[in-house]
Amino acid sequence: MPLSNSTYITRWRVNDTFSAHDNAWRSRSRLEFPTRTRRLRIASKIHDWIWIIICLILTQVLYAYIHAPDLYFRIDDPTLRAPVLPDLVSSFVSTVVSVAIPLVGIVLMNFAFFTSWTDIYHSVTGLVQALATTMVICSFFWATIGGVRPYHLTKCNPDPAKLVVGQFYYTPDVCRGTIDKIDLHGFPSGHAGSAFACWVFFSYWIFAKLKLWNGTAQFYKMILTFLPLIVPAYISLTRVIDFHHFPHQVIVGGLIGIFSATFAYKLNYPMHGWFYGENDGNGDIPAYGIHQTYLKQIGPDGRAVLPSNDNLELQSVLVRR
């Protein structure tokens, strides 16, 4: 294409002469249809959110329509005679604290310090992916295994007329009180799972942005990284204090959330090797925010070189198109 006839040339003055950028004619108008690469990226994003919606729908189906098998319990078990107390942290408050606050925090911090729409997309999507994965796993265990809560016998109030001499284990059929479906969803703890999934992901995100292990030895970075972990720990402990869960139920729920957050973060921010090593300075670069154009710079010797600075180290980045 002759340079003089091209309407897409970007020119600038160099030594009192005009020079055209070699790839300027390749530029496109914002009003044109998306390129194939851009369409693939849009389709990939839609695909991600379709699976998130599927996980959330599956969670609701397992929670609302699938009943766990009958759970046997001993009527002389003292660990099942805890008082029925109100939630110290209700489900609504837990949802707001565990989901809304980390999401708002990520968006506000990004606008304040980074201003990257790509990073906002991946951080928000990754957090929701961690939450959706956690909830679908927890709901699967609620529907297939279930678990009684510490106040089970108190709320059950067994009918003595239905007890059999010499029989130790009974089902909820002997109860005079009302046992709701949620009372049999003790294992694992959904509060602990969702809290750890969202706040651990948020902690990973802060860790990568602050670059805690970059040799500056700034203690405030460590404090800011650990502060988010206090929230899920508190929510989880309240579930034991108010007798809504046994400790092992909370621990399993927390582990599900931690593993979901770790895999979701790794999915959206891929790097080679241990992704929190001291030499990995690219933990804050989203997968789709890395383009091969960064890798096509030519050095003085004519060879391709990799750009590197304090905020963009591409030596160990897994490039995705």
DSSP 35-75: PHHHHHHHHHHHHHHHHHHHHHHHHHHHHHH-PPPPPPEET
Question: What is d(CA 234, CA 12) in angstroms, rounded to the nearest whole number?
Answer: 59
Each residue's pLDDT, cut to its tens digit, for the chain (321 residues) gives 444 444 333 333 444 444 444 444 445 555 555 555 666 777 878 888 999 999 999 999 999 898 888 889 999 999 999 999 999 999 999 999 999 999 999 999 988 887 788 889 999 999 999 999 999 999 999 999 999 999 999 999 999 999 998 899 999 999 998 888 899 999 999 999 999 999 999 999 998 888 777 677 788 888 999 999 999 999 999 999 999 999 999 999 999 999 999 999 988 887 644 444 334 444 455 544 444 334 444 455 555 444 443 333 333 333 333
| Distances in whole angstroms, Cα of residue 112 to Cα of each of 68, 105, 107, 124, 203 | 47, 10, 9, 16, 18
Question: What is d(CA 316, CA 224) in angstroms, rounded to the nearest whole number?
Answer: 26
In the block, which residue shows the tokens 């009302």?
178
In the chain, what are the domain boundaries?
Answer: 1-32, 37-288
Report the alpha-carbon angle 98-100-104, nearest 5. 125
HSE-up of residue 139 (Cα within 13 Å, Cβ side): 19
> What is the pTM (predicted TM-score) of this model?
0.75
Helix axes 36-65, 117-144, angle to 10 degrees: 30
Helix axes 190-210, 117-144, angle to 10 degrees: 160
Residues in the chain: 321
